[in-house]
Structure 1
């Protein structure tokens, strides 16, 4: 048997071996040699590593942890590979990214997660334990603000869309701003910029990113429910007509490759345990209604009864069908 060192292997074999190494160890390997570091930092390896990682279905738990006096908000990230990795052996990270408590966590995209906390927006890379705080947007006190996160594959940049609006005492809208932040390599030169939208609307639901497009439920200026689409590359808005009225409790999800709207998740969990879902046919543009029955909790954990207490986790499926909220549960 001939002993062969890693250094003598062809470059493509070195990349193949390194692509199978967990991220937390990969970062340590960069300190071993300049050659290893150059491979790991290379664009070809990064793209291949990301591609291999995205092929493994996993679930991400994001937990908002708060300490008081003084306030020290932290975000806990726990990544679970669904097929073969036990929960307790899966990857977990702890990051302090906010001076204010976490309010919203958006759909993870290519390893990055966008978080919002009372007007502050942060882009996190849990694997590298790095984050970037975006410039704060000046909004009037109490003015609504909706944030969406997407990726422009053509230009290889991430973008954040933020919509703010004001209402007068009669609740009619008086002004609205659409802003975009492009995640460039030079943090100092990046800033928010105003864009225009020809379709007057107010966002209602959280967003869904799919195939270079951001989707979110909204109300048009005549009060009709619609789904707005925002092309991340061209930064153009378009309107998708709806056959049903929606509320902030509805969720946009990726269902078997199609965009779909799910009705009030909280109400479904506590009462009917059945989700109403409207799935859009990409070819015809029609919305087809379907329903999904949810099994009772006590039928899924060895006959034990699960008691529901309060919302605790935001559970996002990175490669799965839908994104759901998980309730804090305990056995009795």
Structure 2
């Protein structure tokens, strides 16, 4: 007896639920199957549903710079869901090679900004989606080779780059708009900027003093506000020791020191949170982390603060083993998580890369459809410094 064929199809709601569990790269590929799937998987309802699901499973994004080889690698890993997780796998996404900048990359709402990339004979800043590998670059004047900061306006859905002399509004093709600015009284410190709820913050040093200020740039209105940060003056000589973080929607500035606790070397974190922008009120918190032999003996940096309040520290260079540390201030607990999968190329001591990590990374399908990102980083070509061949 022949088995009866089942012509019943799966309900659309169930199919969409399945698609929300896939990586954004896979969703993008399924969009090419037919006009029906392209329309369904590009619909605002599905995009919103996918982002909601992705927000419930945030990842940590790793941007790895090997400046000796002019390479950037992008990986991501799940963030631990419970305190018993001690090891998590990496997922490789894309690689950017060529004559690339040695400035720190800047991040906002799913995109990476690299201030200087040489494509064949053209020097260009570059905006890149680290998951899909799509990018766009633009021509700049000579004086614009400076590190800049990427911001995102969540109301108008616009990305803007703030560099030393101008504001660049990211558009499509030749529609990108540049607006000249001037802040002669300040120069930027080497601490990276951070965008929080449509506001870009970065540390600057006054020429008269010197003293720290926090520059607050509203991405939508393009208005500047200067906030006194003289409480960080002890770090004038070493601004790289300061990290800017998103502390539950408020700006936090973190510095790291070492403390001796019962004869053991422990890490001490000092975090100042900007509680009130208008009256410029800072509230300071000091945390002594539980002793950890690895953390106490390695170079590390502060990656950020998760939505649930964990302060995340990561090893500064790729290695084997490589660890990320999650400190919970309320419970005074420190969780070490081994990240596996950088590969022999990055784990070798001679060729190790410097790590820049972004916490609570959420995949956004809207970025895969961004009209301004039309090229693939796999197509980037540059000239060899020795033979000048492409």
Alpha-carbon distance in 2 for matches of 1:330, 1:89 = 13
Q: CA deviation at 1:287?
A: 0.9
Does the 8 Å CA contact 1:62/1:314 hold for their aligned counterparts? no
Q: Which runs of 5+ in 1 are unaligned?
A: 164-176, 301-305
Residue 75 of structure 1 corresponds to 72
Per-residue Cα deviation, 1:154-208 (whole angstroms, up to 9, x for no partner): 2111111111xxxxxxxxxxxxx2x111121x222214321355x8322223211
Q: CA deviation at 1:260?
A: 1.4
Structure 1 position 255 matched with structure 2 position 247: yes
Does the 8 Å CA contact 1:259/1:280 hold for their aligned counterparts? yes
Residue 282 of structure 2 corresponds to 287
TM-score by length of 2: 0.64
- The change in CA–CA distance for 1:287 and 1:201 in structure 2 (over 3 A counts) is same
Structure 1 position 194 matched with structure 2 position 194: no
Alpha-carbon distance in 2 for matches of 1:208, 1:87 = 28
Does the 8 Å CA contact 1:106/1:115 hold for their aligned counterparts? yes
Alpha-carbon distance in 2 for matches of 1:289, 1:317 = 15
Number of aligned residues: 295
Residue 231 of structure 1 corresponds to 218
RMSD: 3.5
Residue 272 of structure 2 corresponds to 278
- The change in CA–CA distance for 1:227 and 1:57 in structure 2 (over 3 A counts) is same
- The change in CA–CA distance for 1:135 and 1:24 in structure 2 (over 3 A counts) is same
Residue 241 of structure 1 corresponds to 228
Does the 8 Å CA contact 1:59/1:317 hold for their aligned counterparts? no
Alpha-carbon distance in 1 for matches of 2:125, 2:254 = 26
Alpha-carbon distance in 2 for matches of 1:180, 1:208 = 16
Does the 8 Å CA contact 1:206/1:216 hold for their aligned counterparts? yes
Alpha-carbon distance in 1 for matches of 2:54, 2:98 = 28
- The change in CA–CA distance for 1:297 and 1:132 in structure 2 (over 3 A counts) is farther
Q: CA deviation at 1:100?
A: 2.5
Alpha-carbon distance in 2 for matches of 1:121, 1:226 = 26
User: Matched residue of 1:104: which SS?
Assistant: coil
TM-score by length of 1: 0.74
- The change in CA–CA distance for 1:23 and 1:225 in structure 2 (over 3 A counts) is same
Residues 128-277 of structure 1 mapped to structure 2, 5 A cutoff = 128-139=132-143, 145-163=146-164, 177=165, 179-184=166-171, 186-195=172-181, 200-204=185-189, 205-223=191-209, 224-244=211-231, 245=233, 246-247=235-236, 248-249=239-240, 250-263=242-255, 265=256, 268=258, 273-277=267-271
Structure 1 position 123 matched with structure 2 position 127: yes
